[in-house]
Structure 1
Amino acid sequence: MSSETETFSISGPSHLTAIDWKNTYHRRCVVASLVQGVYILERDRQQNRIGSQKALAPLWWNFFHFQLNNMLVDSADHSIFGAIFELKPCLNAPRFVIAFRGTLIESGTRSRDIHLDLKCIVNRLHKSSRFQLAIHSIQETIGLAGASNVWLAGHSLGSAIALLAGKNMTKMGYPLETYLFNSPFVSAPLERIKDQKVKHGIHIASSVVKAGLTVALKCQHKQSKPQQDDPFVVLSYWIPHLFVNPADHISSGYIDYFAHREKMEKIGAGKIEKLATKHTVESLLSGAILDRISEPLHLLPSAELTINKSDSTNFRKAHGIEQWWDPTIHCPSLVYQYRY
């Protein structure tokens, strides 16, 4: 049985009958709808909704004149976790959008998705077969159409896949237009601390500790990487579109992450923060044990951060993909670019 949220005519942005690809709201709506289409593709599969009369997913991309080029299927549980959508050549529009869904708690996907959620937390998503298929498909599509014609998108767990893939492709010289909805930020939930002075003090202390550990480990390992080999420097010119909600504890850490960097610059502690912002304490301690400093998945040098500042009544809505095509939300954007 389908829910209203799965039906495009009820829950989708059906008011968007003409797309202006230069309009940020239009782009956000279309890309979020494609991600929703991947969710519904998997639900169609699980509920055996096959054929034009039963399947609910196709309208989520057909409405915007996209075609389903390929589905990405996880070999572990046979679930559809991603899709490649194709659009006929159109000015300012992508030729392909590769979209990834997040965690589904249905019985057919719950175990595998939660397993991958845990891999995100411990910074091991890159070792999963799901990510390996994703990056292979992205590389193939770039080979076919060129990097400028390929966009990435994902929500929640799917956003983590898109983020990691986007990082990897940028390091290879192919920065892709990327849309990250409610991407997981793995850290202590400091955003829940209401006292701004206390929170800022904790952030400063954390930055000093991380900067100190970074220097100590570099000395211990005798690392002296030139700037062009520093991942943060390499990634600094890639500016993905990052969408978060303050009431979503999974993604809201990005708000303080970028705001703290600006505050450290203002108080004259920019050099400390340039070292600290590249690492988590966990990654540094892991580096001390494993003799190398790992790069945390969720940390970004640059991003266009869009925050949904409208009230969210509960966590499900704050973390949901559907908020991003709502025309009534107040969601200002700000570009943060890492400067070395």
Structure 2
Amino acid sequence: MATWASALRLGRKETVDNGSGEEEEEEEAGIVEIERGSAKRKSNDEKGGAEDHPYDFHVCGPRNLSPPTWKDFFISSWKDPNYKRAAIACLIQGVYLLELDRQRHVSAPPAAAATADLAPRWWRPFNYRLTQALIDARDGSIYAAVLEWDRAAAAAALLLCRPAAAPRVVLALRGTLLSAATLRRDLLDDLRFLACESLRTSARFAAAANAAATAAATHGGTAVCVAGHSLGAAFALQISKSLARDGVHVDCHVFNPPAISLAAAWRRLRDGSAAEPAAVPTWEPHVYVNHGDYISGAAGGKGGAAMGKLFVAAPKMPQRFLEAHALQQWWSNDVELQHVPFASTVEEPKNENKRMKLFNF
């Protein structure tokens, strides 16, 4: 007997066998039982019971971002800067969820922990697979992941080769996660950057840089993308710049990188300006910031446009800080970006140049 049922009177003719071999028609308002949510429950069972999770790809992910198909062999979607920005942001979101999935497996009852993970749903639509999770040995948290182009998944979609401009390997680094399991180590790195303007002394830096260098040595620098959000963006910038100084040039996309630094503020007080280190001419990161994000800025200044490409989101409506710093905005369909040369001034209520001068390493 159905638990969730609704009776609908259809007012139709039904033929009934009265047991004597004669059939009689009667005006029967038939009662049809409809099991509400039966299809939904079936779908939930197939997906591991997490269909309605607020962080699921189909709930908060991009709406009009189609997965790669055989057509990308001729016209690659990855050549569209908006597509590439949104796709890479989704891959970084997968790293956030990779850590949250890990925490759920540790703390949840066995029945709940057995449900399907959310993280893979953020890279599978783009035909990527997880090849390595970078784990902080001190607390067991996952702070980065190496994602590689999945040939088998692509072949199933009749995409026999990787589309042009699609990275072969992506090193994605998450930012600070406000969770008891990760907050201590994440905040230590936040404070490290705030005080020293460098993350090279972090235990996470060496492992992430080694993963990027290994991928570049295996597949070539041009086939590797290093990407991050917030604290992860600071790691990504410093890793890609370090590789560029060694002659290894990788693609770099960072979202809401931190720009506040006591070290830069001290240089400004001491020297009258935040002295810039020597620019790396061939280092061109793609930096995405929002006017309403007070802790983010861009890597640039005296290095000029050769230091990278700065994209500033100027929302039509006022945003709260958490909205301006959120990763979700970067795969939104209605985000409007302004490409700003690093050495120029943005004619907006907040001058980006002031924040750029704080972001030096």
Instruction: Go from structure 1 to structure 2 and tell me whether the alpha carbon gap of 1:153 and 1:55 turns closer, same or farther (over 3 Å shift).
Output: same
Instruction: Go from structure 1 to structure 2 and tell me whether the alpha carbon gap of 1:5 and 1:241 turns closer, same or farther (over 3 Å shift).
Output: farther
Q: Does 1:6 align with 2:55?
A: yes
2:67/2:125 contact within 8 Å kept: no
Q: Which amino acid aligns with 1:54?
A: A
Residue of structure 1 equivalent to 2:245: 171
Residue of structure 2 equivalent to 1:147: 221
Q: Does 1:35 align with 2:92?
A: yes
Q: Which structure: greater strand fraction?
A: 2
Greater mean alpha carbon deviation, residues 28-37 or residues 122-131 = 122-131
Identity %: 33
Q: Does 1:110 align with 2:183?
A: yes
Residue of structure 2 equivalent to 1:161: 235
Q: Which amino acid aligns with 1:8?
A: F
What's the offset of the Cα at 1:210?
3.2
User: Distance in 2 between the 1:180 and 1:42 partners?
Assistant: 19
What's the offset of the Cα at 1:248?
0.6
Residue of structure 2 equivalent to 1:78: 140
Residue of structure 2 equivalent to 1:249: 294
Q: RMSD across aligned C-alpha pairs, in angstroms?
A: 2.8
Q: Superposed, which structure 2 residues align to 1:43-58 within 5 Å?
A: 43-48=100-105, 53-58=115-120
Secondary structure in structure 1 of the residue aligned to 2:166: coil
Instruction: Go from structure 1 to structure 2 and tell me whether the alpha carbon gap of 1:129 and 1:74 turns closer, same or farther (over 3 Å shift).
Output: same
Q: Does 1:17 align with 2:66?
A: yes
Residue of structure 1 equivalent to 2:124: 62
What's the offset of the Cα at 1:93?
1.2
- Any idea what the Cα deviations from partners look like across 1:199-234, whole Å, max 9, x if unmatched? xxxxxx9797238xx7xxxxxxxxxxxxxxx9524x
Q: Does 1:96 align with 2:169?
A: yes
Instruction: Go from structure 1 to structure 2 and tell me whether the alpha carbon gap of 1:180 and 1:91 turns closer, same or farther (over 3 Å shift).
Output: same
What's the offset of the Cα at 1:54?
2.5
Q: Which structure: greater helix fraction?
A: 1
User: Distance in 1 between the 2:282 and 2:212 partners?
Assistant: 20
What's the offset of the Cα at 1:18?
4.1
2:216/2:250 contact within 8 Å kept: no
Residue of structure 2 equivalent to 1:122: 195
Residue of structure 2 equivalent to 1:209: 272
What's the offset of the Cα at 1:139?
1.2
- Any idea what the Cα deviations from partners look like across 1:299-320, whole Å, max 9, x if unmatched? x961211111013531111101
Secondary structure in structure 2 of the residue aligned to 1:63: helix
Residue of structure 2 equivalent to 1:232: 278
What's the offset of the Cα at 1:59?
0.6
2:101/2:117 contact within 8 Å kept: yes
Secondary structure in structure 1 of the residue aligned to 2:278: helix
1:239/1:337 contact within 8 Å kept: no
- The normalised TM-score by structure 2 is 0.67
Secondary structure in structure 2 of the residue aligned to 1:175: coil
User: Distance in 2 between the 1:120 and 1:68 partners?
Assistant: 28
Unaligned stretches of 5+ residues in structure 1: 189-204, 215-229, 262-273, 279-299
What's the offset of the Cα at 1:24?
0.4
User: Distance in 1 between the 2:138 and 2:193 partners?
Assistant: 17
1:302/1:337 contact within 8 Å kept: no
Secondary structure in structure 2 of the residue aligned to 1:232: coil
Say how many residue pairs are matched.
264
Residue of structure 1 equivalent to 2:308: 303
Greater mean alpha carbon deviation, residues 5-14 or residues 314-323 = 5-14
- The normalised TM-score by structure 1 is 0.71
Q: Which amino acid aligns with 1:112?
A: R
2:64/2:333 contact within 8 Å kept: no
Which of 317, 322, 346 aligns to 1:316? It is 322
2:287/2:311 contact within 8 Å kept: yes
Unaligned stretches of 5+ residues in structure 2: 1-48, 69-76, 106-111, 152-161, 263-267, 345-361
Q: Which amino acid aligns with 2:311?
A: T
User: Distance in 2 between the 1:84 and 1:7 partners?
Assistant: 21
Instruction: Go from structure 1 to structure 2 and tell me whether the alpha carbon gap of 1:15 and 1:97 turns closer, same or farther (over 3 Å shift).
Output: same
User: Distance in 2 between the 1:239 and 1:104 partners?
Assistant: 28
What's the offset of the Cα at 1:237?
2.4
Q: Which amino acid aligns with 2:181?
A: G
- Any idea what the Cα deviations from partners look like across 1:33-63, whole Å, max 9, x if unmatched? 0000000000001111755x42111110001
